[in-house]
Structure 1
Amino acid sequence: MTSISTSTSAFYDRAKNDIGGLRSRAEALQAQLGSGDKLARSSDDPVAASRLRMLARTDKLSNIDESNAGRASADLTLADSALKTFADYITNAKVLANNAANGTLTDAQRASIGYEIEQIFGNMVNLANSRDSNGHALFGGESAGDAYQLNTVTGKPEYIGTLSAGDLALGDGQSISRGLTGRQILGTEPNDILTKLQKLAADLQTGVGDRQKMANDGISMLEGSLDQITTSQTLVGSRLNWIDLTTERRTNLGELRADEQTRIGATDLPSTIAELQQTMTVLEASQASFTKLSSLTLFSMLN
């Protein structure tokens, strides 16, 4: 009797384990189809789980780099637009200086031209105090306030920003300056463009001496100033191109990571569905076989 009891118990235990294993596998496959994830927990495949965690961390860092690139691109685009306006102002001032250099004009007429140049100077100061994408000084480096102010005593423009614009990381050890400072664009006082333009306006209005010569000197000064602005435009353009290149590379790497994440962690629908169908078929057959075998007795066999 002990032998028969033990064999019967073993039969039921094996059947229960076999059917339980099939049910667990079927449930796991159904969960994969429902969630789209191949791994329910790290223990399912520790190596694959570790790789997926690393890819996820890389994605988070890439998102930060993308945000930095977006900010740098926005600020540099604003700087590029402002530089075009600077160039327009200087070009207009040069046209006025050319008019003032005409030998047929009177000093009163040159004074009127000087007043127009003074208005351009005021517009340029306002433009130099433009704001970036965060509302800070566009050309003030890392300063939150204005980049320039007029001295309360002399009335001359003074740069009050920081020495550098600050760098933003673009990933893979690459970084870029988010803009240019006023001194990088306009020069260092007292030989900066703003000061020289202010002096030209004053000379034409109240200067003592040959105002026609002052106008001619102003033309040369403005030509050099225009070249200075053009150089800054070239620098900004090259930085924008560099951001585009790093963005393209980051996008390509992101696509590669996404493919790897899909390959490692995503459910392969066709194969999973096929395996689930096979598992369910085997489970149903096992349950049917167990039911039939468990109902048999020695007497039924003898009959």
Structure 2
Amino acid sequence: MTTITTSAFYERSSRALGDLRKQAESLQGSIGTGQRLLRGSDDPVGAAQLRALSREDRFSEISAAAGARVSSDLALTDSALSDFAAYVTRVKELAVQAASDTLTTSQRAGIGVEMKEIYGELIRLANSRDSAGHALFGGEATGEAYTLDAAGLPVYAGTAQAGELALGEGQTVLRGVTGPEFLNFNGPAGATNLFTLVRDLGLAMQGGSADPAQSARDALGALDSGLESITTAQTVIGGRMNWIDLVSERRTQRSEQRTEQQADIGGADLATTVTALQEIMTVLEASQAAFTRLAGLSLFAMLR
């Protein structure tokens, strides 16, 4: 005959009821969070898979932030290149006017003044800043992309290449172009740069050339080459922006796949979980009622 002491009875009953309450709390937590795994001990393998997926999510967020930054820088670059193209187009219009033999000296001088102003704007534009406040066309330089020498001519002070940013999954992209990549080019007369071309043309219109009309005509071909160099840079920037969009789209698809995996591994089926909770609550209520009745029994109660 097995004898169960009062203390053992209470201890076993309390432990059984406690286990049922823990199960009920776990199921309630799953319903509230939508997650089946609230602790790593619930499913060690599944928990490890969820941690790996969570790390991928964090890396993806970092890559997305980098992609947003480089997209912003490339958009700024594209806008600045459009401004460069507009200025060169205007200089070409002025050069066409100045090439006419019917213009007076004062009229050409007025054209020279506008070209001088455009020259200053080109230098200002070349020293534009990116989203981090660094030189937009200075590669990885933090200061000005161009500084002025003793003669007042702009000199490139940046690095040889624009900074490279990681987009995730082993993909990288250059965040822009350096000034020399599009401001230096080969014209009909050989190598030149946009600053020298516009400055010299402006000076020629203001009396720096014995034949300013011919100087204007000679500059037209170089201006076309300069505009082509800028357009080529815009094409490169546009291609990089498209590449970032493609990588971003792939990142979004991967994120959706991870979300589905996380739901499959750790997600709780609401209907099944609610049913399980109802069953546990029924058992718990019945167990509590049985414990109360048994705890109230005594030898004297049986003798009455």
TM-score under structure 2 normalisation?
Answer: 0.88
1:248 pairs with 2:245: no
Find the counterpart in structure 2 of residue 158 from structure 1: 155
CA distance in 2, matches of 1:67, 1:19: 50
| Letter in structure 1 aligned against 2:196 | T
Find the counterpart in structure 1 of residue 83 from structure 2: 85
Q: Which moved more, 1:282-291 or 1:293-302?
A: 293-302
CA distance in 2, matches of 1:280, 1:186: 77
- State the secondary structure of the residue aligned to 2:3: helix
Find the counterpart in structure 1 of residue 226 from structure 2: 225
Runs of 4+ in structure 1 over 4 Å off: 6-18, 289-303
Q: Which moved more, 1:98-107 or 1:4-13?
A: 4-13
Structure 1 residue 295: Cα displacement: 6.5
Find the counterpart in structure 2 of residue 37 from structure 1: 35
CA distance in 2, matches of 1:222, 1:156: 19
| Letter in structure 2 aligned against 1:211 | P
CA distance in 1, matches of 2:142, 2:302: 95
CA distance in 2, matches of 1:291, 1:155: 98
TM-score under structure 1 normalisation?
Answer: 0.89
Structure 1 residue 253: Cα displacement: 1.1
CA distance in 2, matches of 1:289, 1:203: 108
CA distance in 1, matches of 2:227, 2:17: 84
Aligned partners of 1:75 and 1:178 also within 8 Å:
yes
CA distance in 1, matches of 2:11, 2:110: 108
Unaligned runs of 5+ in 2: none
Structure 1 residue 188: Cα displacement: 6.8
Structure 1 residue 12: Cα displacement: 7.0
Tell me how large the CA RMSD over aligned residues is: 2.7
1:62-141 equivalences under 5 Å are 62-141=60-139
Find the counterpart in structure 2 of residue 202 from structure 1: 203
CA distance in 1, matches of 2:158, 2:298: 97
| Letter in structure 2 aligned against 1:161 | G
CA distance in 1, matches of 2:5, 2:232: 93
Aligned partners of 1:78 and 1:132 also within 8 Å:
yes
Aligned partners of 2:185 and 2:225 also within 8 Å:
no
1:173-188 equivalences under 5 Å are 173-187=170-184
Find the counterpart in structure 2 of residue 212 from structure 1: 213
| Letter in structure 2 aligned against 1:158 | V
1:220 to 1:30, Cα distance in 2 relative to 1, 3 A: same
Cα distance per residue 1:153-177 (max 9 Å; x no partner) = x222211111111111001100011
Cα distance per residue 1:11-30 (max 9 Å; x no partner) = 77765554443232112212
Structure 1 residue 66: Cα displacement: 0.7
1:149 pairs with 2:147: yes
Aligned partners of 2:81 and 2:234 also within 8 Å:
yes
CA distance in 2, matches of 1:116, 1:206: 14
| Letter in structure 2 aligned against 1:167 | E
| Letter in structure 2 aligned against 1:173 | G
CA distance in 2, matches of 1:224, 1:280: 82
Aligned partners of 1:185 and 1:228 also within 8 Å:
yes
Unaligned runs of 5+ in 1: none
Cα distance per residue 1:80-132 (max 9 Å; x no partner) = 11111111100000010001110222444323322221111111111111111
- State the secondary structure of the residue aligned to 2:155: strand
Percent sequence identity is 49
Cα distance per residue 1:194-220 (max 9 Å; x no partner) = 112111112222334322211111111
- State the secondary structure of the residue aligned to 1:175: strand
- State the secondary structure of the residue aligned to 2:249: helix
Find the counterpart in structure 2 of residue 284 from structure 1: 285
Aligned partners of 1:165 and 1:178 also within 8 Å:
yes
- State the secondary structure of the residue aligned to 2:192: coil
| Residue among 52, 70, 76 paired with 2:50 | 52
- State the secondary structure of the residue aligned to 1:99: helix
1:8-19 equivalences under 5 Å are 18-19=16-17
Aligned partners of 2:138 and 2:159 also within 8 Å:
yes
